[in-house]
Chain A
Amino acid sequence: QITLKESGPTLVKPTQTLTLTCTFSGFSLSTSGVAVGWIRQSPGKALEYLALIYWDDDKRYNPSLKSRLTITKDTSKNQVILTMTNMDPVDTATYHCARSYLSTIYYFDFWGQGTLVTVSS
């Protein structure tokens, strides 16, 4: 059974750095072709792709947010970590992690439920 679960702070202040962790099971990020990405969902807005990391540690970022994002992985812990700097109230959203495969990259077949992050002073 494949599961992904996001964790992190529920409230951050403007200008702070957000760190989110995706802990997954049922697959390995050391398997060739596997990738894990982050997508966020703001109230009243479309889903927005943020970043993705491949099994070989290659990384991709949404150009609109690239300067603020860092994605890393800890294969031994089955975790992917996303950091986002200089948080703003417009970054208030539910943040999801999801699995993808090289053969259909950026199509996400399994998602986590998401974690709601509110940015407010």
Chain B
Amino acid sequence: DVQMTQSPSSLSASVGDRVTITCRASQGVSNWLAWYQQKPEKAPKSLIYGASTLESGVPSRFSGGWSGTDFTLTISSLQPEDFATYYCQQYKDYPPTFGQGTRLDIK
């Protein structure tokens, strides 16, 4: 299985900060990479697919990038509602696999 390694595992930041979360795949997955946001007791919310395509309704402060097997999720200016846990997922190789998550807390 493809291993997805996220870093950092947790992050403290303030409203208005720019933050970047990284996800590294253990082998090439092209751009078949998604990002999800999850708040406690809520359903995961899809943010980005195809490594950089925003889902409908997702604010433009979210962006995704990739180079080789390294993927990034950037939030340009943190808003209070962005404090949550973020997961990456590859869906090129079977079975699809997820990163362990990055918890984003208020500093």
> A residues engaging B (CB < 8 A)?
4, 39, 45-49, 60, 62-64, 96, 98, 104-114
Looking at the assembled complex, report how far the CB atom of B57 sits from the nearest CB atom of chain A, in whole angstroms.
11
For the complex, what is the distance from the CA of A45 to the CA of B99, rounded to whole Å? 9
Which residue from B4, B32, B43 sits with its C-beta under 8 Å from A96? B43
Assess the A96–B49 pair: CB atoms within 8 A.
Answer: no
Q: A104-B50, A107-B34 are in contact. Are A46 and B99 (CB under 8 A)?
A: yes
6 additional contacts (CB under 8 A) given A106-B95, A111-B45: A46-B99, A63-B95, A107-B49, A108-B44, A109-B55, A113-B42
Cα A62 to Cα B55 in complex, Å, equals 26
Q: Is the CB of B89 within 8 A of A107?
A: yes
How far apart sit A107 and B32, CA to CA, in the bound complex (Å)? Answer: 8
Instruction: Report A-chain residues with C-beta under 8 Å of the C-beta of B99.
Output: 46
CB distance from A35 to the nearest CB of B (A): 12
Given A47-B87, A104-B49, A107-B89: A112 and B97 within 8 A (CB)? Answer: no
For the complex formed, measure the closest distance between the CB of A75 and the CB atoms of chain B, giving whole angstroms. Answer: 23
Question: What is the number of residues of chain B that contact chain A, defined by CB distance less than 8 Å?
Answer: 24
Q: How far is the CB of A53 from chain B (nearest CB, A)?
A: 15
Separation of A60 and B100 alpha carbons in the complex (Å): 23
The 10 A-B residue pairs with the shortest CB-CB distance in the complex, in nearest-first order: A106-B91, A47-B98, A106-B96, A111-B43, A113-B43, A46-B100, A62-B95, A111-B44, A49-B96, A107-B91
Q: Does B46 contact A (CB under 8 A)?
A: yes
> Using an 8 Å CB-CB cutoff, how does the interface string of B10-26 with A read, 1 for contact, 0 for none?
00000000000000000
B94 cross-chain contacts in A, Cβ below 8 A: 60, 106
Q: Which residue of B lies closest to A4 (CB)?
A: B43
- Mask of B61-103 contacts with A, CB within 8 angstroms, 1/0: 0000000000000000000000000010101001111111100
Q: Are A47 and B89 in contact (CB under 8 A)?
A: yes
Q: Which residues of A contact B42 (CB under 8 A)?
A: 113
